[in-house]
Amino acid sequence: MRKGILGVAIMLIVVACGSGDTGGGADQTADPAAPARTADPAAPAQSDAGGGAASGGSVVNPQPPGQGVMSVAGLEYTFTEPGGVACAISDGEFSFSFRQGDNEVTIGGGGFYTGGYGWGGGITLIVANPEGEPGPVHYTIPLPDIDESALAFDGSSMSYSGPVVKRVPGGAQEGEDAGSGTVSVTCP
């Protein structure tokens, strides 16, 4: 358990620090007309046998090994370059980080399930130079605040589908509602 907590703490530090790079744009695509992918409500719910962690059913938008993707606010970021935290998904805990270029866009997440208390940890996407607004912009998913059924696990893959909070420079510390988002990661 300590190893998982330490991994989450390190991941959050790596993601929060970023590179401070102000050059170059992010590889991003926005297609609001694209159909949203959601978990199949008819799919059987899965249980994380090792830690008793709840799962929302099938993994949404499963990725190839060693890749991740996040969609939020009409933007989609695909990641193939690993970040500073090793990707690991197992019963009741996960950690991952990915980056684009010289940290123009980074994503990191870490979570652990504590039976009876739910999930601890979080997932954060940082866009250093967002188009049309000052950066960096942080899109966050605080796991203690989520409905546990928003997470799904299958072997070395996991996904989250649900509310995302957006934090902008000079904005309210609690952030603003960014709508629904999806994160999907598969470890190598």
Tell me the C-alpha distance between 58 and 158, whole Å: 9
pLDDT score for 57: 81
Helix/strand/coil percentages in the chain, nearest 5: 10, 45, 45
Dihedral pair phi/psi, residue 70, rounded to 5° = -135, 135
pLDDT in tens, 65-95: 999 999 999 999 999 999 999 999 987 899 9
Return the pLDDT at 3.
44
Q: Answer yes or no: are the C-beta atoms of 161 and 38 closer than 8 Å.
A: yes
Which residues in the chain land under pLDDT 70?
A: 1-56
Helices (H), the chain: 2-17
What is the model's pLDDT at position 71? 98
What is the predicted pLDDT for the residue at 55?
58
Q: Hunting for tokens 């059913």 — which residue is that? A: 57
Per-residue pLDDT, 53: 52
Which residue's structure tokens are 């960096």? 136
Give the pLDDT confidence score for residue 91 in this predicted structure: 76
